[in-house]
Each structure stands twice: as C-alpha cells, then as structure tokens.
C-alpha cells in the first residue's frame, strides 16, 4: 500500500498542510520547554542548545533531583534561569514557550504531545512516539488538525550516510531486494535484579509519573531508564531500538504496512530477572515484494555480520549493510560451477563512514529550521514516520505477546480473526487520565 493509504486505513491520517505561528529567522530567539529532563530528554536539549538563538525557558520533571541537576547543567550553557514545574500542563500554559521537547517514558508521549500541539506548541517527541497503535493514530491526527511541527526522535534519518545508503538501494544496483534484516544486539544490557517495592523517593511525584499507567507500588526497577522493560510503560528493545532500524528499512523500501507478522523469543537468557519484555526476539514481517526480519538479544554484541546493530538490504546482486558507523556493500558472484569463483554481479562500491557532524545535532537543527519556517514538510522524521515505525514495532510485540501469526487487514485497520491481538491495539488509561478527550 502507499503510505497515505496505510495511515488512512489505519485511521492514522497525516497531512500537516497548515501551520501556526512562524518565527521569522535564525536570529530570532527560539524559546523551548522541556518535559522530562532525564536521559534522552536532556540529550536532545543539549543538542538543540547548539543551534544559535535557542534558549530553555521552562523545564518540567516529576523528580526534583533531576530538575536540580539540569538547572546546574543549563547554567553552564546560558545565563537565564528556566522556570520549573512538576505538572507539564502548567508549562504548556506559558505563552512564551514556542516548542517543547518531550522526553518522558513512552506511556506519556501521546497525551503530552496532543496537549502540546493543542496549546499551540511545536514538538520534538522522543521515540517510540507511543506505546500503542491507537495512540500513534491519535498523535498523527492531532498534528494534522493543528498544523504544528512535530519531529520524532528517530535521528538516524538525518545521517548523511543513511541517505547515501538509501540512494544506492533505490538505484537498483543491488538487484531485487528480497529481504531486509534489522537488528540490535546489546551486550551492555545485563539482568535486571529483582528488588522489593519501596517508599517513593523524596522529591518524586510518583502519581504524576504513573499518569495513565496502572497504579502500582513504587519499585525502582520500573522507574528511571529501566521502565523500558515493562509493558505498562514501554515495549522493550523491539520499540526502544527497533523503531530506529525499522524506520530506516521502511523509508528506504518505501513500505508501510505488513500483510502478516509472526514472532518468537522470550526471556531466554535470564528467565528469572525482573523485566517483562523479552531478552531475545525474532519477528518476521511480510510486505508486498519482500520480507523484513527484526531480531534483538541482550547481553551479547555479535549480531548479523558481526555487528551490534544495523540494517541489511539483501539483493540478488549484492547486500548493503548500514549502521551508525557507516555502510558497506558486499557484491554477489555469478555461479559458474562448484569450487569456481565467478565474476561479480555488480561493480564494487566503496563503503562510507559517518559524517563528522553529530547526527543528533543535524536532527535537532532540522527541527529548529522547520519551527522557524513554520513548515512541517521540512522535517526529516515527521510524526507520520514516527507513527509508521512505532506501529510496525508494536505489531511485532503483539505477535510475540499473543503467540500467534497475525494477518493485518489494512482496510479495517485491525488484525484478522484475532480478538486478543486487536485488544492490544488500544490504550487503556487509568488514574483519571483520558486518552480520547
């Protein structure tokens, strides 16, 4: 299906054609609010501060210790002192905030992004854009309705060597692409030890941290960073790393919607640790004309092609493997008989490393440029692309969680004949929060 057909059939229509206020030029100050200042929330902020004319005027976090640390960090970069908040809605009410960075856990992205664009703010939202397929749809609709600039934190799209790799694949020199491999092997990830519930740390608004997630006693495993390994808040490596790689794969191939998905794996390395999401997973997606494989493993680094992460485009004439360190092309040879070396099926193409510039810096610069121009069409990874990557990654998780091969009905925007899988399309909000308000 074409991209618009897929999103429309999934009730995730995109088309941000109008825009709000325009900031005149690069010499005008761009005033930023940060919602969720730990981890990537602050990494994105530090990167955006490299853009001339950008200041932070407000920060919001549920953990006062994080706010204090970030105020100290910011004081090394700028002279103004940002206002501080524990409730993001108070930050969004400020008229002097032009755009916000959303770096909260995944289960918060949708509600906060929708509230931000409705408040007239442009948005840089961390990946994955949401924790369910329904939330992805609603985020895309909100961007369309408001015309705001919404960039997704899938920053690989801004890397020049990824764009060169895309052009090589699309040129046809690799021949027919029959398979795309995507993977993340993460040797640094070790078992999450089981710990008892404990009192909420001083200075933490745990109720606001939970937000729409189910109410639970505080447990540090479910808090900063390691929230990723629990279904209430995130989708494990499938959505944490998978959206980066799947985004590049589908962007290069011009594909959106799989026709079928199946997955296998589990907690095979550390079955008794505290995490819920699988430490080992393989998911197979069928698209018209090619298939895609996602795989991840924690605690080991030797993935396909002896690389910890990457995307491989396997063609009849050769294979291109691209990763954050560059890309290489491996030509196939003609078969001329057993034990004989035939000629190459394609000319050799030299590999390429990354550019000297930080790809994250290129991505945040792209966001700032689009905000100043008031033009969502300038974005390298608009919310549409973030939603497509997240939807496909969520499909892989749903296939794993249901233990069933799934067939996607694009016209109906649901899985065929699988009630359990279709229940996982929707978000369930708790604690008085309403997704559909």
Q: For the segment 373-393, what is each residue's pLDDT rounded down to a tens digit?
A: 999 999 999 999 999 999 999
Q: What is the pLDDT of residue 356?
A: 82
DSSP label at residue 157 = G
Alpha carbons within 13 A on the beta-carbon side of 389: 32
Q: What is the pLDDT of residue 60?
A: 98
Nearest to 426 by CA among 132, 230, 7: 132
- CA-CA distances (angstroms) from residue 20 to 46, 195, 372, 373? 25, 48, 11, 10
Q: Any long-range contacts for 429-434 (C-beta under 8 Å, 24+ apart)? A: 429/111, 429/212, 430/210, 430/212, 430/213, 430/214, 430/215, 431/207, 431/210, 431/211, 431/212, 431/213, 431/215, 433/111, 433/211, 433/212
SS3 344: strand
Which domains occur in the chain, in start order? Answer: 3-157+359-381 (3.40.50.720), 159-357+391-423 (3.30.360.10)
| Distance, CA of 310 to CA of 159 (rounded, Å) | 14
Upstream peptide bond of 128 is cis (omega within 30 degrees of 0): yes
- CA-CA distances (angstroms) from residue 163 to 153, 158, 272, 323? 17, 8, 42, 12
Listed in sequence order, the DSSP H helices in 254-382 are 359-373
| Distance, CA of 54 to CA of 367 (rounded, Å) | 12
β 260-266/406-409 pair status: antiparallel
Q: Are 113 and 139 in contact (CB under 8 A)?
A: yes
- CA-CA distances (angstroms) from residue 187 to 49, 110, 225, 297? 31, 31, 17, 8
pTM over 0.85: yes
Q: Are 292 and 182 in contact (CB under 8 A)?
A: yes
Beta bridge partners of 293: 181, 284
| Distance, CA of 65 to CA of 59 (rounded, Å) | 13
- CA-CA distances (angstroms) from residue 220 to 42, 69, 214, 272, 313? 21, 19, 16, 17, 40
**CB atoms near residue 160 (< 10 Å):** 14
Q: For the segment 194-245, what is each residue's pLDDT rounded down to a tens digit?
A: 999 999 999 999 999 999 999 999 999 999 999 999 999 999 999 999 999 9
Question: How far is CA 50 from its chain centroid?
Answer: 22
Q: What is the residue-level pLDDT of the chain in tens, covering all 437 positions?
A: 444 444 444 443 223 333 345 654 445 889 999 999 999 999 999 999 999 999 999 999 999 999 999 999 999 999 999 999 999 999 999 999 999 999 999 999 999 999 999 999 999 999 999 999 999 999 999 999 999 999 999 999 999 999 999 999 999 999 999 999 999 999 999 999 999 999 999 999 999 999 999 999 999 999 999 999 999 999 999 999 999 999 999 999 999 999 999 999 999 999 999 999 999 999 999 999 999 999 999 999 999 999 999 999 999 999 999 999 999 999 999 999 999 999 999 999 999 998 888 999 999 999 999 999 999 999 999 999 999 999 999 999 999 999 999 999 999 999 999 999 999 999 999 999 999 87
| Distance, CA of 72 to CA of 134 (rounded, Å) | 38
Structure tokens at 373: 């121009």
The contacts of residue 187 (CB under 8 Å, 6+ apart) are: 299, 300, 301, 308
103 burial type by CB count under 10 A (0-12 exposed, 13-18 middle, 19+ buried): buried
Task: Answer positive or negative: Cα dihedral of 130, 136, 142, 147.
Answer: positive
Q: What is the pLDDT of residue 20?
A: 45
SS3 415: strand
| Distance, CA of 134 to CA of 214 (rounded, Å) | 18
- The H-or-E segment that residue 3 falls in is helix 3-9
């Amino acid at each position: 299906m074409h991209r618009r057909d897929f999103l429309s059939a999934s009730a995730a229509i995109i088309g941000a054609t109008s825009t709000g206020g325009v900031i005149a030029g690069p010499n005008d100050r761009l005033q930023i609010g940060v919602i969720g200042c730990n981890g990537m929330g602050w990494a994105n902020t530090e990167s955006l501060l490299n853009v001339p004319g950008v200041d932070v005027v407000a920060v919001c976090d549920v953990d006062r210790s994080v706010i204090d640390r970030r105020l100290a960090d910011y004081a090394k970069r700028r002279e103004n002192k940002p206002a501080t908040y524990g409730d993001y809605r108070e930050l969004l009410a400020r008229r002097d905030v032009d755009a916000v960075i959303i770096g909260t856990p995944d289960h918060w992205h949708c509600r906060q992004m929708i509230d931000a664009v409705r408040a007239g703010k442009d948005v840089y939202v961390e990946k994955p854009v949401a924790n369910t397929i329904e939330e992805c749809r609603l985020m895309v609709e909100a961007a369309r309705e408001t015309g705001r600039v919404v960039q997704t934190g899938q920053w690989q799209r801004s890397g020049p060597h990824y764009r060169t790799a895309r052009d090589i694949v699309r040129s046809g020199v690799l021949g027919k692409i029959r398979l795309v491999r995507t993977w993340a092997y993460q040797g640094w990830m070790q078992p999450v030890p089981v710990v008892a519930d404990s009192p909420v740390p001083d200075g933490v608004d745990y109720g606001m941290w939970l937000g729409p997630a189910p109410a639970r006693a505080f447990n540090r495993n479910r808090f900063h960073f390691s929230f990723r390994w629990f279904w209430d808040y995130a989708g494990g490596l499938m959505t944490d790393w998978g959206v980066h790689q799947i985004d590049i794969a589908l962007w290069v191939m011009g594909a959106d919607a799989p026709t079928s998905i199946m997955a296998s794996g589990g907690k095979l390395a550390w079955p008794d640790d505290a995490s819920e999401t699988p430490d080992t997973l393989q998911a197979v997606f069928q698209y018209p004309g090619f298939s895609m494989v996602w795989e991840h493993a924690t605690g080991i680094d030797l993935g396909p092609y002896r690389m910890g992460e990457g995307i491989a485009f396997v063609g009849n004439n050769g294979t291109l493997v691209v990763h954050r360190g560059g890309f290489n092309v491996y030509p196939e040879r003609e078969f001329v008989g057993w034990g004989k070396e035939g000629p190459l099926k394609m000319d050799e193409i030299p590999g390429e490393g990354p550019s000297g510039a930080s790809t994250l810096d290129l991505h945040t610069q792209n966001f700032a440029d689009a905000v100043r121009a008031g033009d969502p069409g300038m974005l390298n990874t608009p919310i549409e692309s973030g939603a497509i990557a997240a939807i496909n990654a969520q499909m892989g998780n749903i296939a794993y969680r249901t233990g069933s091969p799934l067939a996607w009905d694009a016209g109906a925007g649901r899985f065929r004949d699988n009630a359990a899988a279709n229940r996982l399309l929707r978000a369930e909000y708790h604690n008085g929060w309403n997704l559909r308000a």
